[in-house]
Chain A
């Protein structure tokens, strides 16, 4: 029985750590309705500034905290002024993409400055331990709890009783109305970003001290857990974020207690999905509260798509089709094969995210389902590879739609968060369901691509195969978009209330979109499995999902040609920047930011 006390305490301790990130995220979401994916990067920057202060400058703790808070706040202000403010009148999704780009840039800058080696960040507090239950807690645990609770409380008071706080809340409820009443919305945003960044920086430093370890990979994990905690508590709700974090910590701890360590994150993400489905506004939203997302589809603003004449597309397709006949290196062909595979994934995502408005952040899971199905069909049941890939596509269409169906009742950002969680769940199930997926060992010896009994092993034949499959999928999708079905999809995206009033069944149409999209993604995953010959649970990871979304936004949401163009660009750019060695991801991030800044509707515009 005493173990349960220990599990509870441990859950609260780690929840405490999550709370520090979640509060900053909640604050920013509360005002700008933006999930700030750069919050984890500010946390990272704070940790390294803390390291410089403690290890190089030997500052005492109170001074360290002030230095880190001020420096992180400055970073936050710079992000707000130059990264986000120029985007405030553009599509709602542009700032989201911008924060992803900013986090690339910040993470890379830290990595280049400090090297990716982990560093020790010694705690400056006396090393006394208090016995609680079977374990001990130290002064740092109390300090983290103190900072988390105090900041949540201060923010609560600030938002409720101060004039600037009122302005913040007014701006979050109705930006235009607030501006009409003379609220300087930019100043409000600045204040919020400054505070959130200061908090993020200090939390990175404290967590670094807590584990005596900081490294450049800590940023994405911090963001993921922070987002989960924040949404569980109710996006934009500061005290809710703290309680959500503690709850998340407890669920993880009890999950470990009952099922074992490897199931830990599974429970975190299941909690998120359950909360989203049952209480989409979070556990602590009052029933009367206006839904935090707008009722109609302003998330994806319409824009005029660039019309590319048919003959130009035909010429381009023919050009790519005959490319291998010219003396191009296999390296170029392989890079384009990657682009075609990513293009299929992007077709899938641009349909569900762009055309019907369900912005998915878990699309890599569909690749994984397709890949594992195809690999296992061909290895275990000796199904010919061509059929196995189609099997992967079908399985992905069915299973993917089924898994995502709970999120059909959600809107806007919440769909993204739910799909992010579903993606993580799929990856963790693959890791743990060893009897089928062979767990972490992965599946090796997957037979190469083959068609009608002929192995496709030369890069040229794989190139033609993947290009042909992608073109067929693209043509089908183009046909779909011009049909009655495509118009219904767009109607649901643009105004789901009106669409429902008109008699469209939302769930049925969303399912249809996911079935078609799931098929394309599953095919892509299936081909990849046979191309790589080895896959495991890490082959299709969260970064792939984020990359796919970037492709889709870059190309123009819902835009079939745009998805393919985006895939070629985002596979090609990092390869072109190879010459820059370690700097290439930094350059890639900057290019991404510039694209979002000057072409937020995507290269070819929303369709």
Chain B
């Protein structure tokens, strides 16, 4: 919302309502108007924090895109509609975007129920739904207008399993996972890979997103007698588990999925997350130029704040959107076709991102093995903890 002034937005929304069914698919031809992307995501409600993080990543990417001359001289902007991650609202937003001729493609939503409920509308309306956090394996099966840069868990979890089993030498694992579609899918891929690498899975425990008390769960974990704990968590619940694990006296090695990668994980976890291992897609001292540019730019724009995984996803997504629009122009179908044509887009998560046309996802996420040392994320030096 911060990229177009409110009055244009108000006029635009009214126009969209009045425009009626007889809209034209062609985007407006005036080059002074920005090319507009629709974003459907949570700005209020229980997932509001993620929507806020998206905005930070989007805004940073847009600054850079503008500084580099925009899209063939035109401005790129987005219109963020709050869905609260609620399918009832995301379907209404989908109709709104589909019938607004200025919108050339859509980004989001956050949760699977909200995103996938809107997919049929985007598919039938012929507007690309670019879900950059949608790891649900069926998301891109919604149709050829669904594309995703979300790291496939089929890619990520074997990397984490390799870190835990092969590199850290853990043999008997306890897996704690968020009991959502993401957590569940991740757990299944992790367990499969870890078993292939020769580890034993002592226990798996799924917990709901609102859970804050893990002490009893951790007693179950203790009784299963594992030599390592795997956290398939977001940063807030991951920090809670780590703290409580230390409080109930568990001293095992902990290894977490990349979604805990956030300065908040350390802030919330304090000393308890010291020595937690995590596989991530990038890290602060990463020598890759795109990572340096992202981190430096982010810190400069947001008063020294460290970016986290969700910032990186949205930053990458906006850059990808710009690359696609550069090729596809403002025609919605041409934009869909452009997803298959973009090659080697510079990306924090993938290094170079190219879509696999079959699955409409990007394969080959980067991998860095980190550990928390002295309250900082650092590249793991191979030393045991």
Contacts of B1 in A (CB 8 A): 581
Whole-angstrom distance between the Cβ of A456 and the nearest chain B Cβ: 12
A453 within 8 A of B: no
Residue B91 interfacial (CB < 8 Å): yes
CB-based nearest B residue for A217: B46
A331 touches B16 (CB 8 A): yes
> Is there an interface contact between B138 and A444, defined as CB atoms closer than 8 Å?
yes
Determine if B216 is an interface residue (Cβ-Cβ < 8 Å): yes
Query: Is there contact, CB below 8 Å, between B239 and A115?
Result: no
Choose, from A60-68, A249-257, A508-516, the stretch at the interface: A249-257
B 43-71 contacts with A by CB, 8 A = 43-46, 48-49, 51-53
Complex contact B13–A111 (CB within 8 A):
no
Let me know if A108 and B117 touch, CB within 8 A.
no
The distance from the CB of B55 to the nearest CB of chain A, in whole angstroms, is 10
Check B196 for interface membership: any CB of A closer than 8 A. no
A329 at the interface (CB under 8 A from B): yes
- Please report the C-alpha to C-alpha distance between residue A118 and residue B236 in the assembled complex, in whole angstroms: 7
B92 touches A334 (CB 8 A): yes
Within 8 A of B (CB), among A426-460: 431, 439-442, 444-445, 448, 457-460
A440 touches B21 (CB 8 A): no
Which of A6, A265, A338, A457 interacts with B120 by CB under 8 Å? A457
Partner of A257, one of B89, B92, B219: B219
A335 interface hit (Cβ, 8 Å): yes
Given the complex of chains A and B, what is the CA–CA distance between A448 and B121 in angstroms? 11
The answer to whether B248 and A135 touch across the interface, beta carbons within 8 angstroms, is yes
From A10, A528, A571, give the contact of B215 (CB < 8 A).
A10
Which residues from chain A contact B49 at a C-beta distance below 8 Å? 115-118, 215
Interface residue B252 (Cβ < 8 Å from any Cβ of A) = no
Establish whether residues A331 and B141, one from each chain, have CB atoms under 8 Å apart when the complex forms: no
Say whether B91 contacts A329, CB under 8 Å: no
* A532 located at the interface, meaning its Cβ lies under 8 Å from any Cβ of chain B in the complex: yes
A598 CB within 8 Å of chain B:
no
Give, as a whole number of angstroms, the nearest-CB distance from B203 to chain A.
Answer: 9
Task: Count residues of chain A with CB under 8 A from any CB of chain B.
Answer: 85
Asked if B212 and A532 make an inter-chain contact with CB atoms under 8 angstroms apart, the answer reads: no
Given contacts A330-B21, A444-B116, A532-B91, contact A256 B216 (CB under 8 A): yes
Segment with Cβ contacts to A, from B263-271, B321-329, B348-356, B367-375: B263-271
| A531–B20 CB distance below 8 A | no
Interface of chain A: mostly helix, strand, loop or mixed:
helix
What separation, in Å, do the CA atoms of A490 and B12 have in the docked complex? 49
Known: A108-B44, A328-B21. A579 touches B247 (CB 8 A): no
**Contact A211-B240, Cβ < 8 Å, known A6-B219, A331-B16:** yes
Q: Say if the beta carbon of B126 comes within 8 Å of chain A.
A: no
Query: CB within 8 A of B52: which of A117, A256, A444?
Result: A117
Most buried by B among A10, A333, A585: A10
* Known contacts A135-B215, A256-B217, A442-B181, A213 near B141 by CB under 8 Å: no
Contact call A448/B120, Cβ cutoff below 8 A: yes
Q: Is the Cβ of A217 less than 8 Å from the Cβ of B92?
A: no
Q: Are A129 and B219 in contact (CB under 8 A)?
A: no
Cβ–Cβ contact B220 & A260, under 8 A: yes
Q: Are B46 and A14 in touch, CB under 8 angstroms?
A: no
Checking B18, B116, B270 against A532 with a beta-carbon cut-off of 8 angstroms, the contacting residue is B116
Closest A residue to B98 using CB positions: A330
Among B6, B20, B87, residue most surrounded by chain A Cβ atoms (within 10 Å) = B87
With a CB–CB cut-off of 8 A, which chain A residues contact B179? Answer: 262, 431, 439-440
A575 located at the interface, meaning its Cβ lies under 8 Å from any Cβ of chain B in the complex: yes
Report if A86 contacts B (CB, 8 A). Answer: no
| Bound-complex Cα distance A442 to B179 (A) | 11
Asked if A440 and B205 make an inter-chain contact with CB atoms under 8 angstroms apart, the answer reads no
Cα distance A54–B149 in the bound complex, in angstroms: 41
The 8 A CB mask of B114-129 against A (1 = contact, 0 = none) is 0011011100110000
State whether the Cβ of B167 lies closer than 8 Å to any Cβ in chain A: no
Residue of chain B at shortest CB distance from A6: B219
Q: Is B10 a contact partner of A532 (Cβ separation < 8 A)?
A: no
- B215 pairs with A584, CB closer than 8 A: no
**With contact pairs A3-B219, A135-B249 given, residues A442 and B120 touching in the complex (Cβ less than 8 Å):** no
Please tell me which one of the listed residues A252, A534, A538, A574 contacts residue B89 in the complex, with CB atoms under 8 A apart.
A574
- Given A329-B20, A338-B92, check contact A582 B113 (CB 8 Å): no
Verify B82–A538 contact, CB threshold 8 A.
no
Q: Does B334 contact A (CB under 8 A)?
A: no
* Whole-angstrom distance between the Cβ of B278 and the nearest chain A Cβ: 18
Are A444 and B141 in contact (CB-based, < 8 A)?
Answer: yes
The reply to whether the CB of A216 lies closer than 8 angstroms to some CB of chain B is yes
B81 at the interface (CB under 8 A from A): yes
Chain B residues near A330 (CB, 8 Å)?
21, 95, 98-99, 125
Q: A328 to B96, alpha carbons, bound, how many Å?
A: 11
Chain A residues, CB < 8 A from B247: 129, 135-136, 138
Say whether B183 faces chain A, with CB atoms less than 8 Å apart: yes
Tell me if B3 counts as interface (CB < 8 A to partner A): no
Centre residue among A261, A341, A571 by max chain B CB count within 10 A: A261
Contact at A136–B248, with CB atoms within 8 Å? yes
Q: Min CB distance, B269 to chain A, in Å?
A: 8
Q: Which residue, B18, B96, B142, has most C-beta atoms of chain A within 10 A?
A: B96
Instruction: Decide: B113 and A536 in contact? CB cutoff 8 A.
Output: yes
Q: Which residue of B lies closest to A11 (CB)?
A: B216
**Are B87 and A262 in contact, CB atoms less than 8 angstroms apart?**
no
Asked if A177 is at the interface of the complex by the 8 Å CB criterion, the answer is: no
Q: A212-B268, A262-B205 are in contact. Are A331 and B99 (CB under 8 A)?
A: yes
- Shortest CB-to-CB span from A584 to chain B, Å, is 7
Q: Is B19 part of the binding interface, using a Cβ–Cβ cutoff of 8 Å? A: yes
Contact of A441 among B22, B181, B211, B243 (CB under 8 A): B181
B346 within 8 A of A: no
Task: Provide the residues of chain A in CB contact with B98, threshold 8 Å.
Answer: 330
A151 interface contact, C-beta 8 A: no
Interface centre among B51, B82, B176, B222 (most CB of A within 10 A): B82
Q: A296 interface residue, CB < 8 Å from B? A: no
Q: Is B33 in contact with chain A by the CB < 8 A criterion?
A: no
With an 8 A cutoff between CB atoms, is A346 at the interface? Answer: no
Q: B184 contacts A532, CB within 8 Å?
A: no
Q: Which of A388-431 contact B (CB under 8 A)?
A: 431
Known A-B contacts A13-B215, A327-B20; A532 and B87 likewise in contact (beta carbons under 8 Å):
yes
B17 partner residues in chain A, CB cutoff 8 A = 328-329, 331-332
Tell which of B112, B219, B220 has the most Cβ of chain A within 10 Å.
B219
Which residues of chain B come closer than 8 Å to A442, judged between CB atoms?
Answer: 112-113, 136, 181
Q: Contact at B44–A532, with CB atoms within 8 Å?
A: no
Cα–Cα, bound, A445→B143 (Å): 11
- B377 interface residue per 8 A CB criterion: no
Q: Are A534 and B119 in contact (CB under 8 A)?
A: yes
| Chain A, 581-598, CB within 8 A of any chain B CB | 581-582, 584-585
Decide yes or no whether A21 CB sits under 8 A from chain B: no
B185 & A441 in contact (Cβ 8 Å cutoff): yes
A213 CB contact (under 8 Å) in B84, B206, B268: B268
Q: Enumerate chain B residues within 8 angstroms of A331, measured Cβ to Cβ.
A: 16-17, 92, 95-96, 99-100
Residues of A245-278 at the interface with B, using a CB-CB cut-off of 8 Å, are 252-253, 256-257, 260-262, 264-265
Q: List 30 A-B contacts (CB under 8 A).
A: A11-B216, A13-B213, A14-B213, A116-B49, A117-B52, A118-B264, A131-B249, A134-B222, A135-B248, A212-B270, A220-B46, A221-B210, A253-B216, A262-B205, A327-B19, A332-B17, A334-B94, A338-B88, A440-B206, A442-B181, A444-B136, A459-B95, A534-B112, A536-B112, A543-B86, A575-B92, A578-B82, A581-B1, A584-B44, A585-B44
Binding site for A on B (CB under 8 A): 1, 6, 9-10, 13, 16-23, 43-46, 48-49, 51-53, 80-82, 84, 86-89, 91-92, 94-96, 98-100, 111-113, 116-117, 119-121, 124-125, 136, 138, 141-142, 176, 179-181, 183-185, 205-208, 210-217, 219-220, 222-223, 236, 239-240, 243, 247-249, 264, 267-270
9 new A-B contacts, CB < 8 A, other than A119-B267, A533-B117, A536-B181, are: A3-B219, A217-B210, A260-B205, A329-B95, A431-B179, A442-B113, A458-B124, A531-B120, A532-B113
Per CB-CB distance, the 3 closest pairs between chain A and chain B, nearest first, are A327-B20, A532-B117, A534-B116
